């Protein structure tokens, strides 16, 4: 004999599947949000490092320019 689910049984099954899918999707969303926060923090850290290195590079360029100027003045 074949099992024919009633409309209520089908609706119950579909509702349960939908709730499960919603819970899974909500968990995935939370995970992605956490990952996004982590990535943004990492990017901020990298931006800060780039800014620091750019400032260091500018300082070194100024030091090189000062040395070059001294050498040029010595050479006349």
3-state SS, residue 5: coil
Q: What's 9-45 look like in SS3?
A: HHHHHHHHHHHHHHHHHHHHHHHHHHHHHHHHHHHHH
pLDDT band at 76 (very low <50, low <70, confident <90, very high): confident
pLDDT number for residue 2: 67
Over residues 4-62, the pLDDT tens digits come to: 889 999 999 999 999 999 999 999 999 999 999 999 999 999 999 999 999 999 999 99
3-state SS, residue 1: coil
* 67, pLDDT greater than 80: yes
């Amino acid at each position: 004999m074949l099992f024919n689910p009633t409309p209520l049984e089908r609706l119950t099954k579909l509702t349960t599947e939908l709730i499960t899918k919603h819970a899974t999707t909500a968990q995935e969303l939370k995970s992605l949000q956490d990952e996004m926060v982590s990535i943004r923090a990492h990017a901020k850290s990298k931006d800060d490092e780039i800014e620091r290195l750019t400032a260091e590079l500018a300082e070194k360029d100024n030091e090189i320019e000062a040395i070059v100027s001294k050498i040029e003045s010595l050479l006349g």
